[in-house]
Structure 1
């Protein structure tokens, strides 16, 4: 198979893989740019000398300062938790596109509040602005994967939802480097630390402009009975005529899915909650939440939010050196996200990536923790150079990044965007996003205190959770690549889990053969009928 060769669930016209579907996914992924930037820049801003001086951080003792930092960081995750739940309501009533517009506006208001903050006014505006910004981010984190997955052909769905993760990493890359840039090029001042806050409005503005031009999800429109509008958008995004067999087949899948759930559950805001009585559906909600438990249990958000603290624990000294090391971490993540997006996610599949990331990442964390326990780098002087063991620890940190990024970084979002049916997709994604932000909050709220009290034990803690997550994936997570969204119920009904994908893909292939044979028989019968009619007409004229 070539780099961009696709495994299709059924024969697909090449026109389906067109610029329109990629453009819509890219525009929606601007939401991820603002999420990634917001998650990355703030940790280093808290260490920026001009910021710490303006807000008198030197007047706090170590425990009080750790508590203050944790509170400032974690209110963002708390807001995101409630925003991700609120997105279920806006998605139901407003749709995917208008929900993104709504939450983006809330995010922008929060950014403006933060820009109005000064040392004299205290941190209140920053804290309040981060709550609103988090609320907007939480809603966007719910809506974006759903919107993209509902537009995507199955063979490139992982790649297109992966654009969301790529946007997250590109925003994060800028966020990791922004404070290194202002710290090395500008004198310490109010304007110096204000620049990183102002940059938040750039991806927000790009998202707002882009949302003016992209369409609503046709699946959502069909669920609301707006069939004519849905068909028009689906034809536009697939670049096919309304009577094309591929389009008719896709519509039949969606219609069958909607009719099934209308019959079994019914439509309405509260109706999807009834699906929780079904153990198959209930398990998917639990599975989505556990994926984010283990994603956060890898340690990634401890690094994102408190990177100077993390690198100091390894032995990195100096503000600029810590910022530089953090920036390189961002470059590694972004580069590997491209590899994950273009090849790994739709070729190796979700399960293989998650298992490899868990095992490899765990081994790296064990090494880093052991290095800190034995070498005690926190006891070194500021002008001491790293030992060879310290350099090895830095290497293993970046190796951990290489294992984590193409596995647990974005794959849980892809799986959650795929595995729910039409009636439960918004509710399921709301549950998954809320779980993500809840565990983000836990990490953000307690990381500084964990490092103060546990030291090297923090790395052993994350290493243990990563190795546990490998068994979780092997036993509980089915492969979802190339499976049509409307067939996810069938996928999760197949046991054992590790064979489900192969069994269902074989069934779909057999069904396609039967459909093709039936279509050929009908076509042959129609041709025979036409020949007979033509013969009768000729005979009567004679």
Structure 2
């Protein structure tokens, strides 16, 4: 499917540099603290689990519940957060999410027993899921189309940075207070700081101009655009957004009823497929169980903990490379390349586990191929899926549709996270990674046959294209 990706959207004036550029950059920094919290709260359990087990008397069953309940909470939070974002506004929703992060974190830190801890992990999951559905929408709607890719991807940078920070902070805290039976509480407490920063920062941030237009608050929307665009660009872009919003009001779209519209149903199918296949790469099985995987590969327990930090480091490096490439390479080409690489490294991990004799060489081969898988995944598929979910849906159902897609993404995440240790235990490392490779081939077929190109087009142009193409 060939598309012109170089022409400016609908003849809009170029997005020139100016004071508004700094304001836009500040908006991106503050909003993506939601991504940092997302990453830290999903990664911190890795190091906190062992001291938590002895302190609270967790069994294997309650341990699994405490770990996985956040993921199920995130699936619910994605749906609820998407709807609240449509009703209350993107900015107000992020403020609410920051408060929920604070409550959930403090509840976990002060939990006297595992049921209380599990409840507050569920609360944290609601915030994580709502952030995953709201922050990319907010960034995509406030960014000019030329910078949309890099701005939305900053959220993914903050997610993987939060996970990496959790690995490092856990190690440091364990070195300092490791003999303290409540050391896990210190690890979890750190997440209060970015939650406070997110809340205070968002108090000074503007609402999404596209959401304001949808609520017929045009003067406020223009004022926001003038904060983050040059004067001429703000006026031209406002006219485009207003025209599209009028069209959407006339078509009475906005929620589950839109599933009856063929072209919207097709887009949601594409979005769900992207989210599910992103998780079926197994990235979170590595991020949650990396230490155990490396121990089974042949590392000692202490060496595996240190080696696992490489997964966090190369996750950050990968996303940094992805950010640099995002607006230079077409989305489809990057997705196809990313799934080709991850499938290749899945095969290499499987073959190493199957063919190499047990020992240090085997352990290091598996480590290298797992790290290269993480780097490839986070440099392409990870950020691209979040970006494309923020790009492909029409304005009035954007949050509803993203909430639905991210709900399915989290359910896929939960299934992989819960099933991975059992499958590895029953089948071994090699067959498990061969299964991931097979799923990668299915993902390549899906992308090649179903996923459209979105780079270099305004959100409004994309809607016109999809309405025509899939009606």
Shorter-normalised TM-score: what interval? over 0.9
1:169-180 to 2 correspondences below 5 Å: 169-180=160-171
- The match for 2:3 is none
Greater alpha carbon shift after TM alignment, 305-314 vs 138-147: 305-314
- The match for 2:464 is 490
- The match for 1:477 is 451
Instruction: Select which of 189, 197, 222 maps to 1:198.
Output: 189
1:27-426 to 2 correspondences below 5 Å: 27-46=30-49, 48=50, 50-56=51-57, 65=60, 67-117=61-111, 121-240=112-231, 244=232, 246-265=233-252, 271-318=254-301, 320-341=302-323, 343-375=324-356, 377=358, 386-387=360-361, 389-426=362-399
**Contact 2:104–2:121 (8 Å) recurs in 1:** yes
Q: How far 1:334 moved relative to its partner?
A: 0.7
The runs of 5 or more residues in structure 1 that have no matched partner are 1-5, 378-384, 497-542
**Contact 1:301–1:444 (8 Å) recurs in 2:** yes
Greater alpha carbon shift after TM alignment, 455-464 vs 158-167: 455-464
TM normalised by structure 1 equals 0.81
- The match for 1:448 is 421
CA distance in 1 between partners of 2:89 and 2:198 (Å): 16
Q: 1:450 to 1:7 in 2, by over 3 A?
A: farther
**Contact 1:80–1:136 (8 Å) recurs in 2:** yes
**Contact 2:209–2:221 (8 Å) recurs in 1:** yes
How many residues get paired? 461
CA distance in 2 between partners of 1:263 and 1:452 (Å): 56
Residue by residue over 1:272-307, the C-alpha shift from the partner in whole angstroms, topping out at 9 and shown as x without a partner, is 333222211111111111111111100111112222
Verify: 1:459 aligned to 2:433, yes or no: yes
CA distance in 1 between partners of 2:244 and 2:409 (Å): 28
Across the aligned residues of Structure 1 and Structure 2, the Cα RMSD in angstroms comes to 2.0
CA distance in 1 between partners of 2:411 and 2:68 (Å): 10
Q: 1:479 to 1:214 in 2, by over 3 A?
A: same
The runs of 5 or more residues in structure 2 that have no matched partner are 1-5
Q: 1:274 to 1:56 in 2, by over 3 A?
A: closer
TM normalised by structure 2 equals 0.93
Greater alpha carbon shift after TM alignment, 280-289 vs 248-257: 248-257
**Contact 2:52–2:182 (8 Å) recurs in 1:** no
Q: How far 1:174 moved relative to its partner?
A: 0.4
**Contact 1:73–1:444 (8 Å) recurs in 2:** no
